[in-house]
Amino acid sequence: MSFQTPITVKEAVENIHAKKYLLPAIQREVVWEVDQITRLFDSLMRDYPIGSFLFWHVEKKNVGQYQFYEFVRDYHERNMCHNPKADVSGEDDITAILDGQQRLTSLYLGLKGSYAYKEPRKRWDNPRAYPVRRLYINLLGPKKNGDETDMVYDFAFLTDEEASTDGDDVFWFKVGEVLNLKEHWEVNDYLISHELAQKPQDQARFANRTLFKLWSVVHEAKVINYFLEKDESLDKVLNIFIRVNSSGTILSYSDLLLSVATAQWKKRDAREEITSFVDELNGMGDGFNFNKDFVLKSCLVLADFTDIAFKVDNFNKANMLNIEEQWDDIEDALRGAVSLVAGFGYSRDTLTANYPVIPIAYYLKARGLPKNFDTSAHYAEDREAIRRWFILSLVKRVFGGSPDTVLRPVRKMLREARDGFPYQDIVHRFKGTTRSLVCTEDDVENLLRHKYGKGYTFSVLALLYPTLDFRNRFHIDHIHPRSKFKKPKLRQKGIRDADIEFYLENVDLLPNLQLLEGIPNQEKSDMDFADWLARTCKSAEERANYMKRHFIPNVDLSFSNFREFVEKRKALLREELRRILHVTKEE
């Protein structure tokens, strides 16, 4: 391995664009956020070192022995976050990047590509939530005080519309356009043609210096310092890669596992299999938020390895081949488990921990992957035991901290189970420990304090509504509409000042929440609860059934009686939770 003559940013970007630089399968995918990319460009403009790079030269005669991927050219957080597989059928040698992928990807995205990330408060499945943004720099002044004070230059990823809103102190220059300015005089021409030289003196000077500096950084400065490895032994290259990337927090153990699996699997492309499977799982039901860490941990558990920790030493060739041989069953088991969890009503917004899904998958695999487990009446009793264990595991947060201390003993009990899912055995095994599923009076009181908008609230409500068919979409609904709980509105309705704080403190708590199907919830909207109930339940019998099903107390249901409603409904919910959770006063 030898140190090479440095090259410019322009040369590196052009090599990526021409597909002369590729990524070996052991590399992970894009993980840098926009602020990391803008900070990299700011560092370049300030002549800060950006670290060395490690390249791997692969001769054309050996290229076909390995799998390579292209750089991401237009990153999209939902639709284009995976590197496309490269076509290496040509006649040229290849330069693969062993260290520096994130920096090189960032340089390419800033100069030739785009970055589409989700806007806040928009649904992840809304196409409009991901506007295309390109990198711009403000030529009229430095980053303003109050922003990130350690950055001098005002770089930002903007939509074309956002970048078109110039002002007295803003002129957004698309950073990629600097590639079109081949000579020094073209920089001057740009400044003149856009009337930047006619700006006030301080701004004109800043624009001049900034654009010339950017041009120099991209076209002239040889800032890409790199070592070149020419040995084509995959074992040696993999060892170098791990040494380079595991010295700090750059590469997680799951990344290393995926790297090793990719290098060791014989019949499949591990990276492609696992990343596409993660996408498949996340598309099930109303959508989930699983990642490769979850799938890789599942592999360790479901393949029955004794040690399931993320340690590089455990990821030897024999283990990787073992996982490859079992991959079809592992996939089917995880699909079945996620389908079952979706049937319990969970999605990305309500599943507060992913690891409790793994024992369900293990149980399905140990039982031989029974068909239609999530719907068949034959498995109804098993499903209910799993559902109760799953919900309690979430609300008691038993997988927090060190999940392996739960996964290992639970896996042993599932392996030895003969009469269905061993819910009671698991409860007994952890009783008296910090992972206990046994609930006390204090636990019940804590459950009653769960609030709207918090992840665990759905799990508590799911305990209270065990017979709902969650294949239909249910919403967490405010019984007394949230829109009415504003101080001015409360005073208008004649609520005494002494009671207003009670209203505001309890509007989002469990006693004012219920699970309601999507269409009825939309119809209910902001109606007074008493009026909506009278309109929805025409007969006394319908009203009685509704009140029993939703634990509605037999009190005056008008908004002005909210205090009594909350206190009485809390009592009903407390008793029901005590019954469901087998809580006795002696505990």
What pLDDT was estimated at residue 234? 62
Model pLDDT for residues 190-201, shown as the tens digit of each residue: 999 998 888 999
Query: Which band of pLDDT confidence, cut at 50, 70 and 90, is reported for residue 586?
Result: very low
Same domain, 353 and 497: no
DSSP 3-state of 217: helix
At 178, which amino acid appears?
Answer: V
What pLDDT was estimated at residue 76? 84
Least confident of 138-147, 556-565, 566-575: 138-147
| Residue 155 within any structural domain of the chain | yes
Reference 69, options 18, 28, 108; nearest CA is 28
DSSP 3-state of 450: coil
| Residue 171 within any structural domain of the chain | yes
| Residue 452 within any structural domain of the chain | no
Same domain, 87 and 199: yes
Query: Which structure tokens are listed for 205?
Result: 């000077």
The dihedral region occupied by 311, where left means phi > 0, alpha psi between -120 and 50, and beta the remainder, is beta
pTM more than 0.85: no
Give first-to-last CA distance, the chain, whole Å. Answer: 67
What pLDDT was estimated at residue 249? 39
Report the share of the chain in percent with pLDDT over 90: 58
Least confident of 21-35, 408-422, 487-501: 21-35
Residue 367 CA, chain-centre distance (Å), reads 31
Same domain, 201 and 309: no
Same domain, 261 and 376: yes
Pick the residue with more confidence: 146 or 168?
Answer: 168
pLDDT over 90 at 10, yes or no: yes
Q: What is the mean pLDDT of residues 144-156?
A: 76
- In angstroms, the CA 327 to CA 471 distance is 28
pLDDT over 90 at 64, yes or no: no
- In angstroms, the CA 524 to CA 541 distance is 20
Same domain, 69 and 181: yes
Query: Which band of pLDDT confidence, cut at 50, 70 and 90, is reported for residue 13?
Result: very high
Pick the residue with more confidence: 57 or 509?
Answer: 509
Last residue of a domain, one of 194, 219, 244: 219
| Residue 204 within any structural domain of the chain | yes
pLDDT over 50 at 587, yes or no: no
Same domain, 329 and 425: yes
* CB atoms closer than 10 angstroms to residue 166: 13
Same domain, 196 and 262: no
Most confident of 17-26, 100-109, 129-138, 324-333: 324-333
Residues with Cβ within 8 Å of residue 172, at least 6 apart in sequence: 136, 137, 138, 139, 156, 158, 162, 163, 164, 166
Same domain, 380 and 515: no
Same domain, 144 and 199: yes
| Distance set, CA 220 to CA 18, 43, 208, 214, 322 (Å) | 20, 16, 17, 10, 51
Least confident of 224-238, 384-398, 562-576: 224-238
Most confident of 77-86, 230-239, 249-258, 323-332: 323-332
Same domain, 419 and 543: no
> Which secondary-structure segment (H or E) carries 54?
strand 53-58
Q: For the chain, what is the domain count?
A: 3
| Residue 114 within any structural domain of the chain | yes
- In angstroms, the CA 456 to CA 453 distance is 9
Query: Which structure tokens are listed for 73?
Result: 């050219």
Q: What is the mean pLDDT of residues 106-128?
A: 85
| Residue 242 within any structural domain of the chain | no
Q: 533: domain range?
A: 474-580
Residues with Cβ within 8 Å of residue 527, at least 6 apart in sequence: 481, 535
Burial status of residue 313 (CB atoms within 10 A of its CB: 0-12, 13-18, 19 or more): exposed
Same domain, 433 and 487: no
Query: Which structure tokens are listed for 123?
Result: 């649904």
Most confident of 62-76, 118-132, 427-441, 523-537: 427-441
pLDDT over 70 at 314, yes or no: no
Query: Which structure tokens are listed for 256?
Result: 């290393």
Model pLDDT for residues 208-254, shown as the tens digit of each residue: 999 999 999 999 999 999 988 887 676 677 667 666 665 443 455 56
Model pLDDT for residues 266-302, shown as the tens digit of each residue: 888 888 898 899 999 999 998 999 998 899 899 999 9
Same domain, 492 and 429: no
Report the share of the chain in percent with pLDDT over 70: 90
Kindly state the DSSP code that residue 143 receives in the 8-state scheme.
P
| Residue 497 within any structural domain of the chain | yes
| Residue 455 within any structural domain of the chain | no
- Please provide the average confidence, as pLDDT, over all residues in the chain: 87
Reference 259, options 239, 277, 280; nearest CA is 239
What pLDDT was estimated at residue 525? 79
